[in-house]
Amino acid sequence: MSRASIEIDIGGTFTDCYVNSGTGKTTWCKVRTTAHDLGLGMSRAIDDAAERLGMTGDELLGDTGIVRYSTTVALNKLIQRSGPKLAYITTSGFEDTLIIGRASQWSDGLPFSEQREIARVQKPEPLIPKTLSVGVKERISSTGEVLRPLDEEAFLKQLDYLVDQGVRGFVVTLLFSYLNPSHELRIRELIEREYDESYLGRMPVFLSHEVSPRKLEYTRSTMTLLNAYLHQSMYEELVGIGQQLRSRGYRAPLMMVHNTGGMASVFRSSAVQTFSGGPVAGLMGAAAIGEAYGRTNVVTTDMGGTSFDIGMVVQGSTRFYQFAPTIDRWVVDATILDTKSIGAGGGSIAKVSEELGNRLDVGPESAGAVPGPVSYDQGGKEPTVTDANLVLGYLDGENFHGGRLTLNKRRAERAIEQKIAKPLGLSVPHAALLIKRIIDSKMGAEIHKETVLKGYDPRDFTVFAMGGAGPMHCCGYTAAANMTEAVVFPFSATFCAFGSSAMDVLHVYERSQRITLLKPGETDEWQQDGTIFNAVVAELIEQAKRDFAGEGFQTDGLVFELELEIRFGGQLNVKRVASPVLEFGGEDDARSIGAAFEKEFSEAYSALGLNPEAGIEVEGFILKARLPQANPELPVYPVGGDREGSKHARTGTRDAYWAPEKGFEPTPVFQMNLLRNGDRIEGPALVEDESTTLVLEPGWTLEVDRHHALVLTKEDSDVR
């Protein structure tokens, strides 16, 4: 019998848990996130899931082979600016790199609406002040040669100054250290020699060539800085969770979900790698099960209490990476699967702006978990999307979140009346419907923009609706995106937690190295010598094997995938391309790499942009070392449904508001877990589950497939 697996995804409002018992039974649950102690909410979720399987949480953990964990703890600490006091050590003359940034640093990480207000925009406050940035006397050339040896005596004086200022960590980024790290390594030796563990504890030293062995010193510096800034808080949080799990019987390493689409143990995970673990897990889960559902072109949509996350799977592949990924206000040089997040969720606040002529807007501000929506009775004063759904009759206030929370409908009605309906001269339900339609339109517009900007027609895609609020709004935002099909899964409310169960143990290794594949002005003079190419790949493979062995894994089953950053000569930006070869054997391999680059370039930017006459250059290597894990198996249910009303799953009716001209209408209510393969329901209808409610709007049809997924279709794709 295989051992159980537990998947945890901690969001701003809810903590999701998905469990595979190892005997074929699965269960899932949601609990409120405990922001003051994430481990507390995690333990509650595990206990809840274990109870559903007929055991205690300790019994479940004792029989668990792997716990996968995704969280936003690193981002939260960055937003709060609660990191340690750090020093920045760089090559003399480059002390202001972090302060100067790039030419566009003032706009990095800001929404477009704020970027347009140029007069009000301010550059981010540096995480390390200029007084704690020092330049050391040394220099490595652009080819890795030592032009000026490290002046150790001068550096030791600078080190004493930094320690006297109360520094508790060091960020070391020297020019061209990714080609020759000898000076960075020597600086760490000197720091550890002068201030070892017997002196106030050893202060961590972060070397840029270890964190990000890539060219471009600014993004290499920001990567190293963010890892240093978030290291201690993340370490304390995760070590505490790991100790808690071990005290309850779990013996394996705690695995962290990475931005790359894989995972690794806590001690092999850096803070930046875990930045958007939850949305990436959902994306990987969609790719894993999309084929089983017969859909390889998918837009993943995850609507929770605070945010709305979008990702794309094309032809079964998660092929898109963020271009110039930004964490908070800093551009980094990291491999992050492309997901888009906007402030739209159940907690999004609705408001009427007098400055804009009494115009109603919703989000991006959120009421969060505390105080939450007005109807939560926790002190919230501003009406939210959840309050609107309650007023519209879509939610059962007496049985919200499986009966664990009672919603105050009268308070929600008063808040919407005072803050929205009266200023706009509308009835309360009409104002609530307007709130829902505005948030649906915003989310639909983002979906449409994401697909079109990547060169695809949204009508060729299916929406996978995830998150606690995703099924409630999917009909609205799918139609607003000019799409006609959405799928809701039995575990949609915890889909990102489920998604991590489909992820492999994966490490990503990167290295900047320029190689000319095709000379400029030549049409047939391809690279024939693979010495440098093969040396870089061999070094990365060896590093991967050491790391996996250090985590206790057998390296015999490792699978290696190579991606290359390639550009036409004279271009500023590169295109990441899957390499058709892992070992370079001559001209034929150069041609095959060039052909793969031109194909992906054409798909992304049009064949009109091809320019091989300018030459083709490789700029960087990205090696993925993967230890495959078994994908979750989806149960198949026999046909037993009812295409004429699904009476076996119907639990009653509830008055719901669908249009101002009709008012409240009696609407059938169904229980999601009672639906069967073959059931068919015509909208309007409400399908309830303890973790979510599916709002089937008029004009939509629901059919239950063999995996008990709910497939929603709409004949007319016009945007409302």
Q: What is the pLDDT of residues 438-451, one digit of tens each?
A: 999 999 999 999 88
Q: Residue for token digits 């030791």?
A: 156
Position 720 confidence tier, pLDDT thresholds 50, 70, 90: very low
- Is residue 465 very low, low, confident or very high in pLDDT (cuts 50, 70, 90)? very high
Report all structural domains of the chain as residue ranges with CATH numbers, in order of start.
84-220 (no CATH), 505-627 (3.30.1490)
Give the number of C-alpha atoms closer than 13 A to the C-alpha of residue 250, restricted to the C-beta side.
23
Residue with tokens 């009266």: 422
Residues 6+ positions from 375 with CB-CB distance below 8 Å: 386, 387, 390, 397, 407, 408, 409, 411, 412
Judged on CB neighbours under 10 Å (0-12, 13-18, 19+), 460 is exposed
Three-state DSSP class for 183?
A: helix
Higher pLDDT, 156 or 102: 156
412 and 373 Cβ atoms separated by less than 8 Å? yes
CA atoms within 13 A on the CB side of 356: 6
pLDDT tens profile 507-542: 888 898 999 999 998 778 899 999 999 999 999 999
Residue written as token pair 């799977």? 313
The model's pLDDT over 287-333, given as tens digits with 9 standing for 90+, comes to 888 877 778 899 999 998 888 889 999 888 787 777 777 777 778 87
Query: Which band of pLDDT confidence, cut at 50, 70 and 90, is reported for residue 718?
Result: very low
Q: Is 36 exposed, middle or buried (0-12, 13-18, 19+ CB in 10 A)?
A: exposed
Instruction: Let me know: does 171 contact 218? Beta carbons within 8 Å.
Output: no
* Residues 641, 556 contacting (CB under 8 angstroms): no
Higher pLDDT, 338 or 171: 171
For residue 297, CA distances in Å to 165, 277, 289, 461, 702 come to 55, 22, 12, 5, 20
Query: Could you give phi then psi for residue 647, rounded to 5 degrees?
Result: -65, -30
Residue 222 to residue 173: CA distance in whole angstroms: 10
Specify the pLDDT at position 87.
95
Average pLDDT over residues 105-127: 75
Q: Is 44 exposed, middle or buried (0-12, 13-18, 19+ CB in 10 A)?
A: middle
Q: Are strands 87-91 and 133-136 parallel, antiparallel or unpaired?
A: parallel
Most confident by average pLDDT, 17-31, 244-258, 382-396? 382-396
**DSSP string across 230-241:** HHHHHHHHHHHH
Q: Which residue has the tokens 């250290």?
A: 177
DSSP 567-586: EETT-SS-EEEE-S-SS--S
CB 301 within 8 A of CB 447: yes
Give me the sheet containing 64-70, strands edge to edge: 26-32, 14-20, 4-10, 64-70, 254-257, 263-265, 505-518, 616-627, 559-568, 575-578
Average pLDDT over residues 594-621: 90
DSSP characters over 456-483: --GGG-EEEEESSSHHHHHHHHHHHTT-
For the residues of 110-163, what is the DSSP string, one character each? --HHHHT-TTT--PPPPSS-GGGEEEES-EE-TTS-EEE---HHHHHHHHHHHH
Question: What band does 335 get if pLDDT is binned at 50, 70 and 90?
Answer: confident
Region for residue 706 given its phi and psi (left: phi exceeds 0; alpha: psi -120 to 50; beta: otherwise): alpha
pLDDT at 659 over 90: yes
**Sequence letter at residue 78:** L
The one-letter amino acid code at 111 reads: P
The residues, ordered by sequence, that sit 6+ positions from 112 with a Cβ below 8 Å of its Cβ are none
Cα-based distances in Å from 543 to 424, 505, 579, 623: 63, 15, 19, 10
SS3 content of the chain, % helix, strand, coil (to 5): 35, 25, 40
Whole-model pTM: value is 0.80
Residue 111: CA count within 13 A, CB half-sphere: 9
Q: Which residue has the tokens 């030796």?
A: 189
Helices assigned H by DSSP within 520-641: 531-550, 587-605
Report, as an integer, the average pLDDT of 478-487. 95
Q: How far is CA 519 from the centre of its chain?
A: 39
670 with 686: CB under 8 angstroms?
yes
Tens-place pLDDT, residues 162-208: 999 989 899 999 999 999 999 999 999 999 888 876 554 567 899 99
